[in-house]
Amino acid sequence: MNWGKKDLLGISELSKEEILFILDSTESFKDISKRDIKKVPTLRGKTVITLFYEPSTRTRTSFEIAAKRLSADTINISADTSSYIKGETLKDTARNLESMNPDAIIIRHTMPGAPHMLARIIGSSVINGGDGAHEHPTQALLDLYTIREKKGQLDGLKIVIVGDIAHSRVARSNIFALRHFDTEIVCSGPPTMLPPHIETLGVKREYDLNKAVRNADVIMMLRIQKERGGTSFIPSTREYSTLFGLKKEHIEKAKQDVIIMHPGPMNRGIEISDEVADGPHSVILDQVENGVAVRMAVLYLLIGRES
Amino acid sequence: MKVLIRGGRLIDPKNDLDGKFDILINDTTIEKVDKNIRETSDTIQVIDATGHIIAPGFIDIHAHLREPGYEYKETIKTGTMAAAKGGFTTIVCMANTSPVNDNKSVTEFIREKARSEGACRVLSCGAITRSLKGEELSEIGEMYEAGIVALSDDGKSVKDAGLLRKAMEYSKLFRLPVISHCEDESLAKGYVHEGLSSLINGLEATPSIAEEIIVERDIALAQYVEAFIHLTHISTAGSVEIIGRSKKKYKKVTCDTCPHYFTLTDEATLGFDTNTKVNPPLRSKKDLEAIREGLRNGVIDIIATDHAPHESTSKDVEFNIASSGISGFETALALSLKLVHDNVLTLKELIEKFTVNPAKLLNLPYGGIAAGKPADLIIFNIDIEWTVDRETFLSKGKNTPFHGWKLKGKNLLTMVDGKIVYRDTKAIKG
């Protein structure tokens, strides 16, 4: 298969073949991180900018490590150091960055569609590192990669996504990706956090977490997004933890080899208990490890192949 | 100076005329409407309207001219030029200027500015509450003396039902209709319609009920105090249902919708094009169909543009922070003619919604073509195809989601008070 896209803006614009192509490409990059010398010259001479309008540790670091292991030069710009706080518009920032001829810009933004706007303005590749409640494509790709790695395949699985689906870009991207496969996707959470019409995306709604997790192959926990006003949708985090916090008793209802995922950062004791987060079913740190490999593959596909 | 328009098909619902009529205009007024007027004089200007429709000049009861205060978005001069091009001879501008039109000096400023620079007639809508803050009544009587024709806090609802009640009661003194922008603030936290598209694009969304709750409330209030109520830019199936039901038991309810609500759905927002950001938001397919049905069965009385011009920098930003609104004067007629081409409305019914119905709502002496009346008329063609090019807009606002669209039907000539203020020089010679 030939990769023809300039940008990675969302999973919703990828075909099943494109998703599988990225996952297959990831295999070879995973080995690099396990070597003694973790660097290959694939992106030598390329410039990758991370432009983050929202705080991030994992995603930004993961992209930076991915780019560096491929020998690209990386520059990190975050909102608190950028002209954004001086009132520069995204359009002007984009044009200025473009003038410095970067090869790829990874943007994270609080507002949906910001990466799409950037991609319309500039010629370099744009990767969506999370835009508001819209999409977080590389997170979904690393999640699928991790599921496939642990389960051997993506078809025939029951996947339960728990939490604030309405405000979650991780949930959206994962649903868009997983529905290409023969999966049963169940969304669980308080009714205020499950958006209306969600069934039209091909997923089931089950408010009762105890029922939702029955026979699950994968349980994907989402973070309560305090910074997005997420707490106004529930009476208290304590009550949330009682009703929707993932505990050992839930694991017992799921399949024996169930895996527990979380995109991080975790609110321990709220959406996930310590014993589950650190328990034998947890693949949370594998997700982080795979994130680097998936992002290497994405960078390679978007800007690495003509050289 | 006399002008004779001959050869066209006159459709004037107010005077129940539909057929080949010639129209003789003497200075500012209509002198005669008749079959085959033979007027011979050296000074008479003859306009050949063969193959075209002649109609009373369109009246837009909902537009934003941005002056005073936002002259970088639009001025009374550019806005009226755009309106004239679109086929409007009378437009009503909303109060959300800076300063707000909540006192007679702003009303007078607009009136005088329109008189000296306007290409068409401009009437203004006064604010219901001071500074549109929803806290205390504006000086309604003084604005009435200065010429306002309606009251509205357009852009938001008057949240305080008690205060709105007072406004409805007080405005009866002047027979001024209250125009309601229907939106419950606590539900309307979004930038797009809450539906299938917002589910996909993750934008904060506003449900239909944010509009419908206020439609229901405002009609109930009006009925209680026996006031006129006009609900503007209706966008949802529920609103059409509520208004249809209410009209059966209470006669002083009218409403309008805008071309974008019967042309586009929320699907248009999927690409994050900020030109599709408008308030109320573009709704679902089901809503669009209900709006078309409401127009067809007469529940929706009027088509208004909600012309809302913006400078490019307020649209060239992230969707959330982009300004709401569509520059609508120059596409309204062609988008509405689609209703005729699709057999939703007859041409006569369409013209009613742009002429006699708005005139009736605001007690205006316009909206018909008859001897002795002001010579406000337009000549348009229903079949001419053209492509929307925002760069050719006379409005300063190039913010249209219809750029590049192929539309059918075009205004060719606009006459206000006997003066030709717009003419398509290719189609109309003379």
A3 pLDDT above the threshold of 90? no
Instruction: Determine the structural domain holding residue B50 and report its residue range.
Output: 2-54+372-393+405-423
Tell me which residue of A221, A163, A174 sits closest to A201, measured CA to CA.
A174
A117 touches chain B (CB under 8 A): yes
Residue owning tokens 């009476």: A235
Confidence of residue A57 (pLDDT cuts 50, 70, 90): confident
Find residue A14's DSSP bridge partners: none
A111 touches chain B (CB under 8 A): yes
pLDDT digit string, tens, across residues A134-164? 999 999 999 999 999 999 999 999 999 999 9
The answer to whether B42 touches B32, Cβ cutoff 8 Å, is: no
Neighbours of A156 (CB within 10 A): 11
Which chain B residue shows the shortest CA-CA distance from A195? B199
Amino acid letter, residue B351: I
Give Cα B125 to chain centroid, integer Å.
12
CATH number (domain holding residue B414): 2.30.40.10
Cβ separation B316–A89 shorter than 8 A: yes
CATH number (domain holding residue B124): 3.20.20.140
Contacts 24+ apart (CB under 8 A), B169-173: B169/B225, B169/B227, B170/B137, B170/B140, B171/B140, B171/B227, B172/B225, B172/B226, B172/B227, B173/B140, B173/B141
Phi-psi region of B272 (alpha: psi -120 to 50; beta: other; left: phi over 0): left
pLDDT for B164 equals: 98
B225 pLDDT above the threshold of 60? yes
Between residues 50 and 89 of chain B, which touch chain A (CB distance below 8 Å)? none
Helix, strand or coil, per DSSP, at residue A243: helix
Confidence of residue B251 (pLDDT cuts 50, 70, 90): very high
Which chain A residue shows the shortest CA-CA distance from B318? A114
Residue B366 maps to a domain:
no
Q: Is the dihedral of CA B213, B267, B62, B205 positive or negative?
A: positive
Both B111 and B208 in a single domain? Answer: yes
Q: Is the peptide bond before B68 cis (omega within 30 degrees of 0)?
A: yes
Q: How far apart are CA B317 and CA A114, in angstroms?
A: 8
Confidence of residue B200 (pLDDT cuts 50, 70, 90): very high
Q: Averaged over A190-219, what is the pLDDT? A: 96
Both B31 and B82 in a single domain? Answer: no
B133 pLDDT above the threshold of 80? yes
Which chain B residue shows the shortest CA-CA distance from A167? B202
Instruction: Quote the mean pLDDT of chain A.
Output: 94
Q: How far apart are CA B254 and CA B302, in angstroms?
A: 8
Q: Which of B206, B273, B318 to mutate against chain A (most A CBs within 10 Å)?
A: B318
CA atoms lying within 13 Å on the CB side of residue A184: 11
Contacts 24+ apart (CB under 8 A), B386-393: B386/B334, B386/B410, B388/B330, B388/B331, B390/B327, B393/B82, B393/B327, B393/B330
The answer to whether A129 touches A60, Cβ cutoff 8 Å, is: yes
Which chain A residue shows the shortest CA-CA distance from B203? A112
Both B80 and B214 in a single domain? Answer: yes
Both B84 and B41 in a single domain? Answer: no
Residue owning tokens 């852009």: B155
pLDDT digit string, tens, across residues B70-102? 999 999 999 999 999 999 999 999 999 999 999
Domains of chain A in sequence order: 11-135+288-304 (3.40.50.1370), 137-283 (3.40.50.1370)
CA distance A235 to chain B (A): 18
Say if strands B377-387 and B53-56 run parallel, antiparallel, or are unpaired: antiparallel
Structure tokens at A280: 């034998």
Confidence of residue A305 (pLDDT cuts 50, 70, 90): confident
Which chain A residue shows the shortest CA-CA distance from B320? A111
Helices (H) and strands (E) in chain A, counts: 11, 9
A307 touches chain B (CB under 8 A): no
Residue B429 maps to a domain:
no
CA distance A120 to chain B (A): 11
Closest partner CB to A197 (pick from B195, B202, B318): B195
B320 touches chain A (CB under 8 A): yes
Tell me which residue of B240, B324, B241 sits closest to B280, measured CA to CA.
B324
Tell me which residue of B31, B29, B28, B25 sits closest to B43, measured CA to CA.
B25
Closest partner CB to B317 (pick from A89, A132, A200): A89
Instruction: Quote the mean pLDDT of chain B.
Output: 97
Contacts of A134 in chain B (CB under 8 A): 201-203
Both B37 and B85 in a single domain? Answer: no
Both B344 and B382 in a single domain? Answer: no
Confidence of residue A230 (pLDDT cuts 50, 70, 90): low
B325 touches chain A (CB under 8 A): no
Q: How far apart are CA B344 and CA B350, in angstroms?
A: 9
Extended beta strands in A12-46, E state: none
Confidence of residue B122 (pLDDT cuts 50, 70, 90): very high
Cβ separation A197–B196 shorter than 8 A: yes
Q: How many separate domains does chain B show?
A: 2
Cβ separation A117–B318 shorter than 8 A: yes
Structure tokens at B125: 């809508």
B271 touches chain A (CB under 8 A): yes
Contacts of A117 in chain B (CB under 8 A): 272, 317-319
Residue B399 maps to a domain:
no
Q: How far apart are CA A266 and CA A246, in angstroms?
A: 12
Residue B159 maps to a domain:
yes
CA atoms lying within 13 Å on the CB side of residue A218: 31
A201 touches chain B (CB under 8 A): yes
Closest partner CB to B318 (pick from A113, A172, A197): A113
Q: How far apart are CA A225 and CA A247, in angstroms?
A: 20
pLDDT digit string, tens, across residues B139-149? 999 999 999 99
pLDDT for B42 equals: 77
pLDDT for A306 equals: 66
Residue B400 maps to a domain:
no
HEC string of chain B equals CEEEEECCEEEEHHHCEEEECEEEEECCEEEEEECCCCCCCCCCEEEECCCCEEEECEEEEEECCCCCCCCCCCCHHHHHHHHHHHCEEEEEECCCCCCCCCCHHHHHHHHHHHHHHCCCEEEEEECCEHHHCCCCECCHHHHHHHCCCEEECCCCCCCCHHHHHHHHHHHHHHCCCEEECCCCCCCCCCCEECCHHHHHHCCCEECCHHHHHHHHHHHHHHHHHCCCEEECCCCCHHHHHHHHHHHHHCCCEEEEECHHHHCCCHHHHHHCCHHHCCCCCCCCHHHHHHHHHHHHHCCCCEECCCECCCCHHHCCCCHHHCCCCECCCCCHHHHHHHHHHCCCCCHHHHHHHHCHHHHHHCCCCCCCCCCCCECCEEEEEEEEEEECCHHHCCCCCCCCCCCCCEEEEEEEEEEECCEEEEECCCCCCC
pLDDT digit string, tens, across residues B36-59? 998 777 789 999 999 999 999 999
The answer to whether B39 touches B24, Cβ cutoff 8 Å, is: yes
Both B350 and B383 in a single domain? Answer: no
Contacts of A89 in chain B (CB under 8 A): 313, 316-317
Say if strands B229-231 and B253-257 run parallel, antiparallel, or are unpaired: parallel
Both B8 and B76 in a single domain? Answer: no
Q: Averaged over B243-259, what is the pLDDT? A: 97
Q: Which of B196, B272, B276 to mutate against chain A (most A CBs within 10 Å)?
A: B272
A84 pLDDT above the threshold of 90? no
B277 touches chain A (CB under 8 A): no
Both B131 and B12 in a single domain? Answer: no
A116 touches chain B (CB under 8 A): yes
B200 touches chain A (CB under 8 A): yes
Alpha-carbon distances, residue B310 vs A9, A172, B97, B316, B424 (angstroms)? 28, 33, 13, 10, 26
Choose the catalytic residue: B306, B376, B389, B417.
B306
Q: How far apart are CA B3 and CA A293, in angstroms?
A: 78
Residue B21 maps to a domain:
yes
The answer to whether B269 touches B203, Cβ cutoff 8 Å, is: yes
Both B33 and B80 in a single domain? Answer: no
Contacts of B200 in chain A (CB under 8 A): 12, 172, 201
A3 or A287, higher pLDDT: A287
pLDDT for A228 equals: 64
Q: Averaged over B237-252, what is the pLDDT? A: 97
Closest partner CB to A113 (pick from B196, B201, B313): B201
Both B40 and B174 in a single domain? Answer: no
Q: Averaged over B194-203, what is the pLDDT? A: 96
Residue B342 maps to a domain:
yes
Q: Is the dihedral of CA A186, A187, A188, A191 positive or negative?
A: negative
Between residues 161 and 190 of chain A, which touch chain B (CB distance below 8 Å)? 169, 172
Which chain A residue shows the shortest CA-CA distance from B269? A113
Tell me which residue of B411, B408, B416, B403 sits closest to B428, measured CA to CA.
B411
pLDDT digit string, tens, across residues A98-147? 999 999 999 999 999 999 999 999 999 999 999 999 999 999 999 999 99
Both B12 and B66 in a single domain? Answer: no
pLDDT digit string, tens, across residues B322-367? 999 999 999 999 999 999 999 999 999 999 999 999 999 999 999 9
Helix, strand or coil, per DSSP, at residue A67: helix
Q: Which of B189, B191, B193, B199 to mutate against chain A (most A CBs within 10 Å)?
A: B199
B317 touches chain A (CB under 8 A): yes
Is B306 tagged catalytic?
yes
pLDDT for A307 equals: 46
A89 touches chain B (CB under 8 A): yes
Find residue A128's DSSP bridge partners: A107
Residue B346 maps to a domain:
yes
Q: How far apart are CA A270 and CA A245, in angstroms?
A: 6
* Percent of chain B at pLDDT exceeding 70: 100
CA distance A253 to chain B (A): 30
Helix, strand or coil, per DSSP, at residue A197: coil
